[in-house]
Copies of this chain bind each other. A is one copy, B any other.
Amino acid sequence: MGLWRLANWKYSPQQTVQLLDQLLELGVTTFDLADIYGDYRCEELFGEALKLKPELRDKMEIVSKCGIKLVSDQNTYALNHYDSGAAHVTAAAESSLAKMNIEQLDLLLLHRPDPLMDADELAAALDRLVNEGKVRAVGVSNFLPHQFELLQSRLSRPLVVNQIEVSLLHSAPLFDGQLDYCQRERVISMAWSPFAGGDLFVGSGEASLRVQACMEELAQELDMEPQQLALAWLLKHPAKMVPVLGSGRLARLRSGIAALERELPREAWFRLLRAARGRDVD
């Protein structure tokens, strides 16, 4: 469950607790945050809910990310940029703990590959955060294989996750080596924007329209909703991606979870791929 829109929902802490309760009941236990989500406010909102009902913490895995410096009222940055330096990463992780009122992050991800990444320095900082118990495991987001290998080469523990953008409308990672690398190295891949920000269902681009038409056919044939088809399409991939869902509506999430039960037939998978790319396989 992705919480990057938590600040938009304007929930009271009580309402957030209620949502978290319902999600945990549905079996959704992983919560995906980042320091910058909601203009740096989501972690705090999440933390206020946890303060109200601290026993929820132990039923969850909490993921956060750092390494982006976003222009905001909260700071004086002149432009959006990255910082994978030890000082910033350490401070950001500690700030995440403080804002969420927790002792440990289950997973800390570097949010973007920083062209200035000094792998020795960053790996040492990440190792230290784990050794100090502030972080249970570390990973990355949006890293290409060569960036992953560079950081891994200096780290004394495995990077366990790469969270990347994958969907029917963003299928390049299935072909360019990103998911092959995850499969080979047994790195967990999390898929962000698994519905392409909604374009899969309501977009008006050519690819969107083709996918929508194909989904309409398959919805009939297989008795599955479009959202289920989109998720089942991701879940059939052998890299065993974990989609990051970002809806606050329970109905949507319930239907998404139902998708976990349904395997897409191979032909249906390739029909969706053909619709997305506008061409047959070679």
Contacts and interface: CB of A to CB of B under 8 A. Distances in A.
28 contacts: A77-B267, A78-B267, A79-B270, A79-B274, A79-B280, A80-B280, A80-B281, A81-B266, A81-B281, A82-B270, A82-B281, A85-B266, A112-B281, A112-B282, A115-B171, A115-B174, A116-B236, A116-B238, A116-B266, A116-B269, A117-B238, A118-B238, A119-B184, A146-B180, A149-B180, A149-B184, A150-B184, A153-B184
Contacts of A248: none
Interface residues of A, number: 44
Interface in A56-107: 77-83, 85
A147 to B, nearest CB: 6
Given A116-B269, A175-B115, A271-B79, A146 B149 contact: no
A126 B166 CA distance: 30
Nearest to A115: B174
Given A142-B282, A238-B117, A267 B180 contact: no
A13 interface: no
Nearest to A181: B146
Interface string A105-125: 000000010011111010000
Nearest to A112: B282
Contact of A273 (B115, B119, B149, B282): B115
Contacts of A147: 177, 180
